[in-house]
Amino acid sequence: MHGLSVPASLDYFRQQVKNWQAEWQGTIEDFVSQAMRGSDGAHDISHVKRVVENAIRLGVDEQADPEVLLPAAWLHDCVCVSKGSHLRSQASRMAAKAAGEFLIGIGYPAQHLPAIEHAIIAHSFSAQVPPELIEAAVLQDADRIEALGAIGAARCFVTSGTLGGEMYHPTEPIAGERAWDDRRFAVDHFFVKLLRLPATMKTQAGKRLAATRAAWMVSFLRQLADEAGWPVEQLDEAIENLDQLNS
Ligand SMILES: [Fe+2]
Ligand SMILES: [Fe+2]
């Protein structure tokens, strides 16, 4: 690709990202690494770094403001509440508050704080707060993309293991007679939540990326079914039901 075909706004966004990184990233990354020490394997500093990369990737197209988007992405999980906890639905509010206090402490431009806090609160599935700003929509998509594809599958099995769950139901891997139970079975979580995420994406680039990654997850399930000897018809039926839901 040669520079002449790149629209000016793209260059401008990239430059803004670089400037922001030079000024703030080191301090914020130190804080986040410290704050997330001891959090579970699906919500660690590598997750945060990938969400930041996803946010930059989607933020270009949406002309998001890096001064809001980047601190929100870096700090979105800075208070980690485990999936089993009753405080779970409060986690993103707690993270927004901690992020706000931290940013004030380092002298971050105060006019951005309300937007940053909103984006952090709205990123969470369980908070059920609709994103009202493009930066919030981008962050929500960037975080949901992390629940899809190979990374999404890996994170799902890690979380399930942490909560004492199993890979799949021993006698009826794909629910038919029984109800889905994604607290106990990792594969159930694909059907209860993960494969439904593409329909919730807010940005165009996010929708495309989510669709690609969800398609990979379906082939992963087919491979799993093949290796483990599950009845394929039942898997096909469950996937068809999801397709109807998503269309
Ligand atoms: Fe989160
Ligand atoms: Fe996250």
Residue 185 pairs in a beta bridge with 166
Q: Ligand 1 centroid to 35 CA: how many Å?
A: 14
pLDDT of residue 39: 84
Q: Which residue has the tokens 């930066």?
A: 135
Residue 166 pairs in a beta bridge with 185
Task: At 166, give phi and psi (nearest 5°).
Answer: -110, 165
Strand, helix or coil at 166?
strand
* pLDDT, mean of residues 44-57: 97
Q: Ligand 2 centroid to 141 CA: how many Å?
A: 10
Residue 22 has pLDDT above 60, yes or no: yes
Residue partners of 126: CB distance under 8 A and separation at least 6: 88, 89, 91, 92
Q: Ligand 2 centroid to 45 CA: how many Å?
A: 10
138/65 Cα distance (integer angstroms): 10
pLDDT of residue 138: 98
pLDDT of residue 213: 98
pLDDT of residue 55: 98
Residue 6 has pLDDT above 60, yes or no: no
Domain 149-246: give its CATH architecture.
Answer: Orthogonal Bundle (1.10)
- Segment 162-213, tens digit of pLDDT: 999 999 999 999 998 999 999 999 999 999 999 999 999 999 999 999 999 9
Residue 41 has pLDDT above 90, yes or no: no
Report yes or no: 73 and 51 within 8 Å, Cβ to Cβ. Answer: yes
Q: Ligand 1 centroid to 88 CA: how many Å?
A: 10
- Segment 94-103, tens digit of pLDDT: 999 999 999 9
* Nearby residues for ligand 2 (ion, Cβ within 5 Å): 77, 143
pLDDT of residue 7: 58
Per-residue CA distances from 45 to 152, 191, 226, 244 (Å): 15, 27, 34, 36
Of all ligands present, the nearest one to the C-alpha of 144 is 2
Residue 1 has pLDDT above 50, yes or no: no
Average model confidence (pLDDT) for the chain? Answer: 93
Give the pLDDT band of residue 107 (cuts 50, 70, 90): very high
* pLDDT, mean of residues 135-159: 98
Residue 247's Cβ-count burial label (10 Å; 0-12, 13-18, 19+) is: exposed
* pLDDT, mean of residues 46-57: 97
Residue 3 has pLDDT above 50, yes or no: no
pLDDT of residue 8: 62
DSSP class of 185? B
Residues of the chain within CATH 1.10.3210.50 domain(s) are 149-246
Strand, helix or coil at 7?
coil
